[in-house]
Structure 1
């Protein structure tokens, strides 16, 4: 039951070329930076990632993206990530952009054993009708476009069929965790981390504070340990390393 692995390097030692990863985080909040850097150090290439966004300001998945390690991204937001946009438009990166709520539910569904579900989100757009550019050819043309999805009416309202997501690995960051893998997330870090953790066949969690079993009130557990296979305790310096995407001061 003790799932603690002493280092991030050991926790991701079995990742492989072409593997798929669900990665937690929202902007710069709750991003498993230590695990992402450990994956980068393995030299793995041609990977697919599922995450709300692909890192920013040198943090998170942008480390793997800038090194040319990522082949495909499923996400909702490009934001100010200029390298993401450059690789996408140049045809170096395949990108599936989907509504944020749909992404969240696809991860949850995959982790819950639900193969697919219907949602009204995206009906009447290219999300449902197909034709979204997944990959450009580097000359302004579209090399690969999204296919049309099944539409079905429920109570007179059209819904689009979306498939659950499962990945080979999941990388997440939690505020607290115990040796059994039970996790607690802080504030907005709770947005995608629990869902990404559910979707991974092998889920690795970096935790800012490691406690013994029983140290977390069962009523306060956000993600039960059944979804987590490996726990990596962060050093105080790693735990305190949290970026700020947009700093605002009052004049």
Structure 2
């Protein structure tokens, strides 16, 4: 004779469905989670600012190009001031280290002055040519030119031949050197023009205060280098 067992009498309780079997979170876990949230909230502004700064210091980014372009145009404008004074006898565009300057009304009239735009064009040309000497050649370009020149082997200097043969041998030996020397002479010319116009237009030694002399000298150096450095930064992003 079989006895019927009530349904589920021998079944074991499911530990997963039992609320008593679920692990309880310790108070330390809650404190750790709260600490993480606090750190994340505090560091959020710092992370945001660091991402913005990275856009301006990382080569290839839009901010990096913008910094280079701004540096080039500001440096060109500073250099334009010296060229404007020396070559065209204009009033100083900026009041620093000057007894008089063009003033705000004069600035409003500058866009309609042809001589100002000529000065600005000369300044931009000077900045670009000087920046090329600062930047130098691209390593890949220098490597390509070096490997291209190595394939030409120079023979021994001819003896017992007419002078024309010896002269042509010399031309072969010095191939490309004229262009190299000419490029260096052109770069030197532009540096001399920039240096002359900068220190003639704003002579630091006309002052007697040593602090003013040093400050004016430093300003002249910055006005000379700002455009070249800005152009070099901008050029590296292309």
TM-score (norm 1): 0.20
| More strand as a share of residues | 1
| More helix as a share of residues | 2
The structure that has the greater radius of gyration is 2
Bigger relative CO (Cα 8 Å, ≥ 6 apart): 2
TM-score (norm 2): 0.21
